[in-house]
Amino acid sequence: MAIMTSSMTFQPVLERIAGEIERTPGRGRPADYIPALAACDPRRFGMAVAEPDGTVYGVGDWRQPFSTQSITKVFTLALDLAREGDELWEHVGREPSGNPFNSLVQLEYENGIPRNPFINAGALVVTDRLQTRTGDAAGELLAFLRAESGNPALDFNKEVAASESANGDRNAALGHFMASYGNIDNPVPVLLDQYFRQCSIEASCADLALAAGFLARHGVRADGSRLLSLSQAKQVNAVMLTCGTYDAAGEFAYRVGLPGKSGVGGGIIAIVPGRCTIAVWGPGLDERGNSVTGVLALDRFTTLTGVSVF
């Protein structure tokens, strides 16, 4: 195993990983339940690493925008936590669910309180609370991503948002169910519109690695201002580690050893506090909704570099 020293760059490691991925058969299948994502080629692959000072390394399709989907849940969590602090945790838990990301099962016997912010029910609660505080949760998120990535061209994909809305009955059910317990403030149709727009944002690996840099900088934004306290940044990273890859979070922690968050667009972001952020993209998913090549690439990255939180 090659252990990375402070004087080494990440580029040779990324190039080695890309070569290994190129020879990898069986890359999973795109998310076919969202028609706008079903046509993605599972052989596409990109990976980027951003250091805290904004230096970025990349390989493959690392500048190709893709549908970020549930990766955005990390950023809405941070934006709301920065505004309301610990009050948020009265409305959403911090425990792994052990169930699929769109499950309704636990909500009934847990009185409408979602198990964590990264399953769909929990993300709806966080978006709802950010909507109450900003009046435009999706717009607030987009502005933040543009600022942190340095890319003003980031935008919503209206086709993807419409596709998700047309196929969003399960999310509507989650929203109405939680509203019946008083855990949703806004009208459910307004919340769903904000949520589907949020998930439709397109960004590249480079954009996401840079945008997530505040978590590697212990809560400090790219312009030097503080978004989260040290404790809050730790909280977000901890929840990513335990809940960020749905009901495969234990396997991800075992293989990769980093806080991470996946999306069904095939992207994953991962954080090495104090050292770097990583974003990978491979549209083919496993049965739990995580990128096959993305998990493999992150596994190889931590193995080859020795960079991990453990």
Active site residues: 70, 73, 195, 246, 264
User: How many Cβ atoms are within 10 Å of 62's Cβ, its own excluded?
Assistant: 24
User: What is the distance between the alpha carbons of residues 235 and 198, in angstroms, rounded to a whole number?
Assistant: 22
Say which residues have a Cβ less than 8 Å from residue 87's Cβ, sequence separation at least 6: none
Phi–psi pair at 67, nearest 5 degrees: -75, 115
Q: What is the distance, to the nearest Å, from the Cα of residue 32 to the centroid of all Cα atoms in its chain?
A: 19
Query: How far is residue 240 from each of residues 70, 75, 194, 257, 307, measured CA to CA in Å?
Result: 12, 11, 22, 11, 17
Burial category of 168 from C-beta neighbours within 10 Å (exposed 0-12, middle 13-18, buried 19 and up): buried
